[in-house]
Amino acid sequence: MVYATIRQVNLANNLGVLGFIGGCMNAGKTSEIDTVLDRANELQLGFLPFSYEGDTRGNTKKLVAGRKDRNIEIPCKSYHEDNPEEIYRHIDEADERLRKDGRYAHVLVFDEAQLPDYKKFIPILQKLREYNGKSRLPIAVGLDRDFRGRMYEISRFLEGEQGTVVVKIEGFCKAHASEKGPNKSCGALATRTQRVISRGGLEVPEFPFVIGGDKTIYGCVPAPHWDETRQVEGANEATYYVPVCSHHHRVPGKDLVREIYDFFNNNRCNGGVPLQKIRDEFNREDNLDSILKWLTLEGGLEIREGKLRPREVTVHPVDGYLIAQSPDEIMRDEPETIYTPNQ
Ligand SMILES: [Zn+2]
C-alpha cells in the first residue's frame, strides 16, 4: 500500500494499479477528483467519471471542475455493481469518441465507491485495469469509514491490496467546541464522519453541529450504533453528516450492542441462543427490536428455528477473501433470517 497525494500518482504509466481516494464526509474528495481531471488533461489522457446509480443526492450526475481560467462540466455516467456490462459499454463509447485524438478512456473515476457491494465491485475494478487491450487506471473515490468509524470493506480491501495507490483526505472538525465559546467549531483534523438525526425540537445542547460552513443544526442527536449503514445524505431529510475529529465523534449504543453480543457468545450452545432468552435478559431495553434487526441485517447473525445464530463465514469464490455470508445467502432473499418484532 502506498499513501500518496494525487500529484504523486503517475496517471500515465500504471499497469495493474488501482487508485483509492478515501476520507470522511465533506473532507474535499471532490476537489481531489478535480486534481485528477487536471492531471489527466495535462497528460492528454482520456478521463471518464462515474457516479453511483443509487446515489439520490442528484448533484452528482455532473462533475463540475472549475479551476483557474476554466470551468468544465463533465457529465458522469452512472454505474451499478449489478450491471458491469453498462460500465463496459460507457467505456467502449468513450474510447470511440476519444479515438480521433489518439486517446481512450484511461482514467476511470468511480464516486461514492463505499455504496456498491464490494464483493461484486472490486472484481470489476480489477478487470478494468486492463480492459479491451488497454491499460487503464480505475480510481475508487469514497468514504473510508462508516458513521461508526468502522472501515468500509472496500477501503479495508484496497488499502491492504498490493498495487493500490491510496490517497487519504482529511478535513477539519465541524463540531462545536463549547470550550471555545458559542459558534466556534473545533477545527481539529477530521478523520470521522458523524451521522446526526434531527429529533424535531428535542434540544441536545452538547450536540449542535455546523453544517456546510455557516448553517448550524440544533436539536440533533448522534445516530445510534444500530442505524443502518447504507444511508445517503438527503435521502432522509432528518439525517446529516458532519466531519469530526475522533474526540468529537459519538456513536451511542455501542456498549449495549457489545453487551448483547457478549451475552450471545456466553450463552451459545448448539450453535445459537433462543430469541426468548435474549428478550428475557434485555427486555428493559427500548431499542432491543432495532438492535436485533441490525444484528441480523449487518451484524453477522441470523435467526433460524427461533434461535439467534452466527452467519456462516466463507471464502469468496473468485477473490479468496473472507466474507461473512456465503455467496448463496447473498444471492438469496432471506427475510426470515432477519429479525422482525413479531418473532
Ligand atoms: Zn473536534
Residues, CB-to-ion distance under 5 Å, ligand 1 = 173, 175, 186, 188, 245, 248
User: CA-CA distance, 273 to 265, in Å (whole number)?
Assistant: 9
For 126-235, strand residue ranges (E) read 130-131, 134-135, 137-143, 164-169, 171-172, 189-190, 192-198, 209-211, 215-217, 220-222
Highest mean pLDDT among 81-90, 177-186, 226-235, 281-290: 81-90
64 CA to middle of ligand 1, Å?
Answer: 30
Phi and psi torsions of 23, nearest 5°: 175, 180
Summarize pLDDT for 6-43 with one digit per residue, the tens.
677 777 776 678 889 998 887 777 778 888 888 888 89
108 CA to middle of ligand 1, Å?
Answer: 34
Topology at the third CATH level for domain 2-169: Rossmann fold (3.40.50)
Q: Please, are residues 2 and 122 in contact by the beta-carbon 8 Å criterion? A: no
Output the pLDDT for position 258: 87
194 CA to middle of ligand 1, Å?
Answer: 11
Residues ≥6 apart with Cβ < 8 Å to 100:
none
Summarize pLDDT for 219-260 with one digit per residue, the tens.
677 888 888 887 755 555 577 788 888 888 888 888 898 899
The pTM (predicted TM-score) of the whole model is 0.76
pLDDT band at 160 (very low <50, low <70, confident <90, very high): confident
Higher pLDDT pick, 295 / 184: 295
238 CA to middle of ligand 1, Å?
Answer: 22
222 CA to middle of ligand 1, Å?
Answer: 14
189 CA to middle of ligand 1, Å?
Answer: 7
Say if residue 109's pLDDT is above 90.
yes
Side chain identity at residue 160, one-letter code:
G
211 CA to middle of ligand 1, Å?
Answer: 14
Q: Please, are residues 121 and 52 in contact by the beta-carbon 8 Å criterion? A: no
Summarize pLDDT for 88-106 with one digit per residue, the tens.
999 999 999 999 999 999 9
What radius of gyration do the chain's Cα atoms show?
A: 22
Of 168, 169, 159, 145, the closest CA to residue 18 belongs to 159
68 CA to middle of ligand 1, Å?
Answer: 32
Within the chain, where are the H helices? 29-42, 84-98, 118-128, 153-159, 254-266, 275-282, 288-297, 327-331
Domain boundaries, the chain: 2-169, 178-244, 254-337
Output the pLDDT for position 194: 86
173 CA to middle of ligand 1, Å?
Answer: 5
Of 151, 169, 90, 87, the closest CA to residue 123 belongs to 87
Highest mean pLDDT among 46-60, 119-133, 242-256, 315-329: 119-133
172 CA to middle of ligand 1, Å?
Answer: 8
177 CA to middle of ligand 1, Å?
Answer: 7
